[in-house]
Structure 1
Amino acid sequence: MSYAEFVAMIALLMALNAAAIDVYIPALADIGTALGVAEENRRQIIITAYVVGFGAAQIVYGPLSDRFGRRRVLFAGLAIYIAGSIAAVFAGSFEALLAWRFVQGVGAAATRVVATSVVRDRFKGAEMASVMSLVMMVFMVMPVFAPNLGALVLLVGNWRELSAVMTVFGLVALVWSWARLPETLAPERRRPLTGAKLVEAFGIVVTDRIAAFYTLAMASFFGVLFAFIAQSEQVFTQVFGLGKGFTLYFSLIAVFMAGSSFANSRLVRRIGTHRISQGALCAFIALSALHLGLALAMGGATPFPLFLVLFILTMCCFGFVPTNFNALAMEPLGHVAGTGSAVLGAAQTMLGGLLGAGVGLLYDGTIVPLLAGFTGLATLSLVLVAVAERGRMFPPPREQPPRAVAAGAARVDKAGGRG
């Protein structure tokens, strides 16, 4: 497996989750009408049900992947994901759809745990941040592609076909990884699956100050993304009256986010994971607070051109934060990478999803709740980072030089050859 194929495969596994969320965005109103859900804010639970299943199951997959290896856990999760997607096609009620969306999330959780663990098996520090930035760049294609794919499916079918599309995505991921992904966890590094070892592994994760507080910081910051996803249809169609074509603007924002992730992959080794992520987080807070103040002064919403410019600038800052926070949280956890990835992913997804859902339910016909949520959640994230760093913010770079990335690529090629 080449370095490029390795990054592309990890990106697909991560993007599977974004697709399962974003493809449903243009269909929320249609699903509500078809299944008799009159309250608009309640329709957002279609997203939340998936996120909760996705977050909760990672705690299980992490220790399993540290015991049985990455491949077996990945294949089991993809099988559950595919089964849940097929069942969702035939859901006869809103509650049944929520249940199968939860099952989808449970299956997809394996892809998040395994993808992060495989990268951590091969890389660390700035190398890992650089690889994950490239993964995130491809991952961010999904918010460009998935909502428009969902809108296209709705033109020729109905919301049930969306789950069929997710089934196809799952099958592609299963076949490709089965054929090409080598096992990255050596037998001598596997941890016994006993109660004492599980307690030890979880204890290592939650008691390490850097890992624990960067995990919480990333969870709070991911609430921003989930809040935007939950409210995006209502903001674009109701506040700004854009109709079904809103997915194009959603995609435009995602393009800039992908661009910032690519820029991060180039800049992180020069500037350092700490400085670039902490600086971007401060810029995010400043832009969100500025936008919030303007929205309040203008009766609840800025004019759409100004909204779009400020929102793009704000979400560009987003692209410089999560991958670096992820690398910083995982840095001390190489010997329990599966469990560490599980705790990190569960906290990020469940706490972030619930915080984002809470902000989404505050929607009142303006953009004020969304921007207030952005400002508050990002500020909380900054406080948690300060605790992790004991107040020593913006330290100088101390990671490996850029040559290490090329060496890492060679290790992946070599591993692929052995596989």
Structure 2
Amino acid sequence: MKFRESLILYASLTSLTALSIDALLPGLRAIGEEFGATPLLSTQHVISLFIFGMAFGELVLGPLSDAIGRKRALLLGLGLYAIGPIIALSSQSLEMVVLGRFLQGAGVSGPKIATRAMIRDQFDGSAMARVMSLMFTLFILVPMIAPALAMGLISVAGWRSIFVAYLLIALILGLWLAIRHPETLPANRRIPVRPRLLLTNGFRIVANARVMLLTVATGLVFGAQLLYLSTAADIFHDAYGVTESLPLYFAGLAISMALAFFLNSRLVQRFGMEAMARAAFIGFAGSAVSMMSACLLLDNELPFPAFLATLFVTFFATGLLFGNLNALAMQSLGEIAGFGASIIASGSSLVSTVFALVFGRFYDGTSLYLAAGFVVASICSLVLAEIGLRSDPSPVRAAQPAHN
């Protein structure tokens, strides 16, 4: 398989996560109208518990990708992912929709983890960051067009049609991978799934300050975005009266991340991952503080243009951060890239889910809750990442299985 086709396949597989979130956003209000909220669940959880499912799937599928190969683990994840839409399609309650979404999240961790490990198998350092940025540049097309396409599907066939689309996409990607892509992890480099070995390697990864601090920082950055995504349909409607044109605004804001990914792919090998990440953190914190200040000065009535402008800058900064933070954390993993990627992804998913659930409870129909979340996420992630980047960069050494 040529590099260009591999890149498109990686972007398609990775974009399944974004597609599973963004395509459903226009349908959240319809789901809420059909099922309503329960004492424990609301439509926010259709998004946030999808990410929670990812955290569990990543812990399982990461070690499996080190043991049975990236390709098999990825296909296994796609199979589990496909079960989620089947459950959601037949659901008669919000609880069943959330269960289907949880399984989707657990399954999508296969493509998410295995593609990163495949890239780590083939590239290193700034070259890895460049490949990830190019992949994300293609991947960003999803949030630009998914909400508009989803809204068209919903208007014709209802919100359940989105889950039919999810099922078909999973089948197509699975066939493409199975037929065209080779395995990137040779049999002699695989690490068997043994509880004691996993615990030892897991402890070594968790004990690495650089990896874990960057993992928490990544989780906070993603948590800020997840907070926005889980409440975006409501805030656009409640605060600004935007409903039908919501996909257009989503596409416009996604352009900022596309620009960031493209710019990072051009500049990261010149300036380095750390310099790009630090500049992005400053931009993220600056836009968050500006948004918070404007909300307080204007009595929580942030004008719509100002709301969009701060979101644009925020998404540009987080776009620069995603590729670089992941690559910086992965750089210290070496031969346990699959298991390490699972811990990084699972840890960041747990952090982001908790963050979004906590701050989402403060939603009041204005943008103040979002500004507060952005400020906390940006400042805390900046501090943690800076400490992490100054920590020992030595690679994590994998424990080897005992030979009889």
**Normalising TM by the smaller chain, what interval?**
over 0.9
| 1:182 aligned partner, one-letter code | P
For the structure 1 residues 55 and 34, does the alpha-carbon distance in structure 2 shift closer, same or farther, using more than 3 Å as the test? Answer: same
Structure 1 residue runs without a partner (length 5+): 393-419
| 2:286 aligned partner, one-letter code | A
Shift of 1:32: 0.9
For the structure 1 residues 159 and 192, does the alpha-carbon distance in structure 2 shift closer, same or farther, using more than 3 Å as the test? Answer: same
Q: Deviations over 1:304-342 (max 9, x none)?
A: 122212221221111111110111101110210110110
Q: Secondary structure at the match of 2:173?
A: helix
Shift of 1:278: 1.1
**Residue of structure 2 equivalent to 1:137:** 137
| Counterparts of 1:390 and 1:76, CA distance in 2 | 38
38-47 or 206-215, larger mean C-alpha shift: 38-47
Shift of 1:390: 3.5
Q: 1:143-162 maps to which residues of 2 (within 5 A)?
A: 143-162=143-162
Shift of 1:192: 2.1
| Counterparts of 2:53 and 2:40, CA distance in 1 | 22
**Residue of structure 1 equivalent to 2:377:** 377
| Counterparts of 2:241 and 2:30, CA distance in 1 | 17
Q: What's the RMSD between the two structures over aligned residues?
A: 1.6
1:344 aligns with 2:344: yes
| Counterparts of 1:192 and 1:98, CA distance in 2 | 33
1:201 aligns with 2:198: no
297-306 or 107-116, larger mean C-alpha shift: 297-306
| Counterparts of 2:20 and 2:272, CA distance in 1 | 33
1:283 aligns with 2:271: no
**Residue of structure 2 equivalent to 1:98:** 98
Is the contact made by 1:26 and 1:244 (CA closer than 8 Å) also made in structure 2? no
Q: Secondary structure at the match of 1:283?
A: helix
Is the contact made by 2:36 and 2:42 (CA closer than 8 Å) also made in structure 1? no
| Counterparts of 1:319 and 1:32, CA distance in 2 | 30
**Residue of structure 2 equivalent to 1:413:** none
| Counterparts of 2:62 and 2:311, CA distance in 1 | 35
**Residue of structure 1 equivalent to 2:214:** 214
**Residue of structure 1 equivalent to 2:318:** 318
For the structure 1 residues 39 and 155, does the alpha-carbon distance in structure 2 shift closer, same or farther, using more than 3 Å as the test? Answer: farther
Identity %: 32
Shift of 1:391: 8.2
| Counterparts of 1:196 and 1:247, CA distance in 2 | 49
Shift of 1:38: 7.5
Structure 2 residue runs without a partner (length 5+): 393-404
Is the contact made by 1:32 and 1:38 (CA closer than 8 Å) also made in structure 2? no
Q: Deviations over 1:54-83 (max 9, x none)?
A: 111101111111111111111111111112
* TM-score (ref. length: structure 2): 0.94
**Residue of structure 2 equivalent to 1:118:** 118
**Residue of structure 1 equivalent to 2:178:** 178
**Residue of structure 2 equivalent to 1:412:** none
Q: Secondary structure at the match of 1:311?
A: helix
Is the contact made by 1:29 and 1:40 (CA closer than 8 Å) also made in structure 2? no
Q: Which runs of 4+ in 1 moved over 6 A?
A: 38-41
Shift of 1:294: 0.8
Shift of 1:244: 2.4
**Residue of structure 2 equivalent to 1:363:** 363
Q: Deviations over 1:253-312 (max 9, x none)?
A: 011211111110101011110011111111110111011101111121321122212221
| Counterparts of 1:38 and 1:206, CA distance in 2 | 37
Q: Deviations over 1:116-150 (max 9, x none)?
A: 10000001110110000111112221111221122
Q: 1:227-266 maps to which residues of 2 (within 5 A)?
A: 227-266=227-266
| Counterparts of 2:57 and 2:269, CA distance in 1 | 33
For the structure 1 residues 39 and 300, does the alpha-carbon distance in structure 2 shift closer, same or farther, using more than 3 Å as the test? Answer: farther
| Counterparts of 2:193 and 2:303, CA distance in 1 | 56
For the structure 1 residues 199 and 41, does the alpha-carbon distance in structure 2 shift closer, same or farther, using more than 3 Å as the test? Answer: closer
| Counterparts of 1:167 and 1:161, CA distance in 2 | 10
| Counterparts of 2:9 and 2:28, CA distance in 1 | 29
Q: 1:68-83 maps to which residues of 2 (within 5 A)?
A: 68-83=68-83
* TM-score (ref. length: structure 1): 0.91
| Counterparts of 1:148 and 1:311, CA distance in 2 | 19
For the structure 1 residues 263 and 319, does the alpha-carbon distance in structure 2 shift closer, same or farther, using more than 3 Å as the test? Answer: same
Shift of 1:361: 2.2
**Residue of structure 2 equivalent to 1:389:** 389
14-23 or 32-41, larger mean C-alpha shift: 32-41
Q: Deviations over 1:359-384 (max 9, x none)?
A: 22211111011011001011110111
Q: Deviations over 1:3-56 (max 9, x none)?
A: 111111111111011111111111111101111337998211111221111111
Q: Secondary structure at the match of 2:193?
A: coil
For the structure 1 residues 84 and 391, does the alpha-carbon distance in structure 2 shift closer, same or farther, using more than 3 Å as the test? Answer: closer
Q: Secondary structure at the match of 2:30?
A: helix
| Counterparts of 2:83 and 2:42, CA distance in 1 | 25
For the structure 1 residues 87 and 282, does the alpha-carbon distance in structure 2 shift closer, same or farther, using more than 3 Å as the test? Answer: same
| Counterparts of 1:34 and 1:327, CA distance in 2 | 42
| Counterparts of 1:253 and 1:163, CA distance in 2 | 25
Shift of 1:158: 0.8
Q: Secondary structure at the match of 2:91?
A: coil
298-307 or 116-125, larger mean C-alpha shift: 298-307
